[in-house]
Amino acid sequence: MMDGLFDDLCYRLGLRPDHRGYVQADCPWCGKEAKRGQSHFSFNAYGGSCFVCGEHAGLREIARLFGVEGDGPAPARHAVQRPKAPRPAARPHADFEALALVYATRLDAVAAWQAYKPISAETVRAYRLGLGPAPLYASKCPHERLQVPLIAEGRVVGFRSRTLACGCAKWLSPGGSKMILYNGERLLGPGPGMGLATAGLARGRVLWIVENPIDALMLEALRPDFCAVATLGVSMWQTEWTAIVRASVPRGVMVCYDNDRPGNGGGERGRAAWMATHPRDIMPNGVRLVNALLAAGVRARLYDWGDAPLKADIGDMLKEGYDGN
């Protein structure tokens, strides 16, 4: 039974599932270490995936990678006990709209955002960027954070929040949030929902795909002839987004993830830095995305970071007045 294999694997690794039934561990593919308060590789009784290298598999394959085949007798005792009572549920989606209003009307929101990135007060207000803590029980971080509302079909369906000064994970989303292609709805013109009826703002423009939603806003502010969307992470791309990009009829697509191995790759320097601390190499997620877009008939290419420092992102370039050429 899968539950038996799951318990066996947790026992052998000395780990305990969280209230959702997930276990955080070092990634068996890329070796990314598990860190308190951050989600990199996790698995449950059905399987797991890594948000860094993008690999995923069912539970049997994951157990095999950890050297646990599950064919022998179960351990005499199990240190793993699933929680008997779940934690209080996070706020439902209906509350996200009201919460976005609370965040956006904080008098110190504009100053907090401008201390993080050089964006205008008009941009902060136009995109309803706010400030405040996540709802109770909805996040691993109880501290105040910069809040980016995630909007789909005109409704706030979640948040992407950025740390201010606490030691919690840099980017988090409260429980119940729906991960979207940030600004993705603007790629298509009027139609039923996200139906592929007509092209929108990306038609005839260069479409930039970046990680950070604020970098996307900054890029468009600097170059109004560009259209920019953010994936909110390098391994978040969904198959339906490829169809949306194709239907938007851009002049071309530039994939500009960060200058590191999980992002655009970082070239030979990025590979060497990765292999210095990991047991095996990975395919950069930027390369994966470009290949997927090319296979769908979309003109796409990977942004060349050249001799830029490792870990650089497009926001670093924009701070220096980069014009996108």
pLDDT of residue 310: 94
Which pLDDT value is given to residue 81?
Answer: 47
The answer to whether 263 touches 286, Cβ cutoff 8 Å, is: yes
Euclidean distance between CA atoms 5 and 69, whole angstroms: 8
Identify the band that residue 2 occupies on the pLDDT scale cut at 50, 70 and 90: low
Give pLDDT, residue 79. 43
Instruction: Tell me: pLDDT of 1 over 50.
Output: no
pLDDT at 47: 86
pLDDT in tens, 228-249: 999 998 988 999 999 999 999 9
Residue 128 in contact with residue 143, Cβ under 8 Å? no
Assigned token pair, 33? 């270490």
Q: Check pLDDT > 90 for residue 182.
A: yes
Element spanning 50, H or E: strand 47-50
Q: What is the 3-state secondary structure (H, E, C) of the chain?
A: CHHHHHHHHHHHHCCCCCCCCCEEECCCCCCCCCCCCCCCEEECCCEEEECCCCCEEEHHHHHHHCCCCCCCCCCCCCCCCCCCCCCCCCCCCHHHHHHHHHHHCCCCHHHHHHHHCCCCHHHHHHCCCEEECCCCCCCCCCCCEEEEEEEECCEEEEEEEEECCCCCCCEECCCCCCCCCECHHHHECCCCCCCCCCECCCCCCEEEEECCHHHHHHHHHHCCCEEEEECCCCCCCCHHHHHHHHHCCCCEEEECCCCCCCCCCCHHHHHHHHHCCCCCCCCCHHHHHHHHHHHCCCCEEECCCCCCCCCCCHHHHHHCCCCCC
Q: How confident is the model over 76-129, as pLDDT tens digits?
A: 444 444 444 454 444 445 589 999 999 999 999 999 999 999 899 999 999 999
* Number of CB atoms found within 10 A of residue 178's CB: 13
What is the Cα Rg of the chain in Å?
21
Q: Which DSSP letter does residue 132 get?
A: E
Alpha carbons 264 and 304: distance in angstroms, whole number: 8
pLDDT recorded at residue 84: 47
pLDDT in tens, 11-70: 777 788 887 788 888 888 887 877 766 778 888 888 888 888 888 888 888 888 887 765
**pLDDT for residue 133 is more than 90:** yes
pLDDT at 26 (0 to 100): 85
CA angle 178, 232, 145 (to 5 degrees): 80
Give residue limits of the domains in the chain: 2-65, 88-180, 182-325
Fold match between 88-180 and 182-325?
no
CB 158, CB 150: distance < 8 Å: yes
Q: What is the pLDDT of residue 321?
A: 58
The token pair at 180 is 């979207």
- For the stretch 265-296, pLDDT in tens is 999 999 999 999 888 899 999 999 999 999 99
Which of the four pLDDT bands, split at 50, 70 and 90, describes residue 72? very low
Average pLDDT over residues 218-222: 91
CA angle 37, 235, 65 (to 5 degrees): 75
Tokens of 201: 């703002």
Q: 239: number of CA atoms within 13 Å, CB side? A: 0
**pLDDT band at residue 199 under the 50/70/90 scheme:** low
What pLDDT score was predicted for residue 78? 42
| pLDDT-derived band at 5, boundaries 50, 70, 90 | confident
Which pLDDT value is given to residue 163?
94
CATH topology for 88-180 is DNA primase DNAg catalytic core, N-terminal domain (3.90.980)
- In CATH terms, 182-325 corresponds, of 3.40.50, 1.10.238, 3.40.1360, 1.20.1650, to 3.40.1360
Range in 7-16, 140-149, 188-197 the model is least confident about: 188-197
- In order, the DSSP letters of 224-284 are TTEEEEE-SSTT---HHHHHHHHHT--SEEEE---SSTTTT--HHHHHHHHHTTSSS----
